[in-house]
Amino acid sequence: MAIQKGIIQLSGKLVDLIFYQRKNKTVVRRVKKDGTLYKRSEGSIQSGKDFGEASKNARYIRKAFAPLVEKYADDDIVNRLNIKLIDVFKTIPIENRGSKKLVDGNISLLKGFEFNRHTCLDRLYYSPPMVTIKPNGKLSLILTEGEMDSLFAKNKKFPNVCLNLMVFGFDLNGDDYEIFRVNELRLPLDEVFAGGNITDLQTNQTGERVLLIALGAHYSNGSSRSYDRKKYACQIINAYHLKDGVIIPFNTTPAEVKSIDEEEDTGLDWEIG
C-alpha cells in the first residue's frame, strides 16, 4: 500500500492500481492478476506489530541517553539501534509473534552497541570500568589505575581524554524509570592515572527491569574537543535483565542473587585515587 502526495488527487482504477480515499489521503493498492487486491498476510501484520514494539523500545533508549546521543552518535544511530532491538526480539519464541515484549528477549544483546559506527570504544579506551551490582541494588563502577599509555590511545593534537557515563534503568512491565548522569571526567594523557570509582549508586531493583550503562570517550584541549569521527566513541558497556535485583540469564531463572564483577546534573562525581 502507498499514499499519494501532490496536487492531483486520483480515484478509481488505473491499469493494475486502485486509488481510493482514506482519512483525506489518497491510498494506492496494486491489483493481482486475478483481479483481487494484494492483502497483507496475518503473519505480516503480526511481524509489523513486533517491529513497532522493537522500534518503540529503541526510541525509549535513545531518549534516555539523549546527552550521549547528541555528543557521540553518528547519523545512522536511529536505524542501527532499531536493528539491534529487532535482533533482541528475534530471540523471542515465534509463538509470541504479534505480541512480543522486550521482557521476553535476550536483553544482553544490547551490550556492545556503538553510538558511533566509525569507532569502537575499545580503540580509544583499553580498560573500561569494572561494574558490580550488589544484592541491595547498589551499583559500583571502578576505573583501572595505571599509565595512561596502557589505558587510552594517544592523541597528538589533544592533551586530555574525557569520559562521560550514564546509567538507565526501567521497569519492563510499567512506566517507572531512572536516569543517572555522571559528571564528565577529564584526564591528562601525560600523567599517571590513580584510578577512580563511583560507589553505592542506589538503583531501583524492584520487579523486572533493564539496567543499561553507557560510556563515551573523546579528546579535548580544555576549550574545544576533537570532532574527528575516528577519535570519539560511545558504547553500551553493560546490559542486564534483572528481577528483584537478581540477574536473569536469557531463558533461565537464577536460584540466587549474583554479583557481577565486571542535561540534568545528578551531582555524581568520580572519586580519584
Render pLDDT for 39-65 as a digit per residue (tens, 0 to 9).
Answer: 667 777 888 899 999 999 999 999 999
CA distance from start to end of the chain = 62
Taking only the tens place, the pLDDT of each residue in 71-83 is: 999 999 999 999 9
Q: Using 50, 70 and 90 to split pLDDT, how confident is the model at 191?
A: very high
Quote the CA–CA distance of 155 and 55 in Å, as a whole number. Answer: 37
Q: Return the higher-pLDDT residue of 199 and 233.
A: 233
Q: Which tops the pLDDT comparison, 264 or 84?
A: 84
pLDDT digits (tens, 9 = 90+) for 210-238: 999 999 999 999 889 999 999 999 999 99
* Mean of the per-residue pLDDT values of the chain: 85
Q: Is residue 1 predicted with pLDDT exceeding 50?
A: no
Q: What is the pLDDT of residue 18?
A: 61
List of E strands, the chain: 2-4, 12-14, 17-22, 25-30, 130-133, 138-143, 146-147, 160-171, 177-188, 192-193, 196-202, 208-220, 232-243, 246-247, 271-272
> Model-level pTM?
0.79
Burial classification of residue 198, based on how many CB atoms lie within 10 Å of its CB (0-12 exposed, 13-18 middle, 19 or more buried): buried
pLDDT score of 267: 61
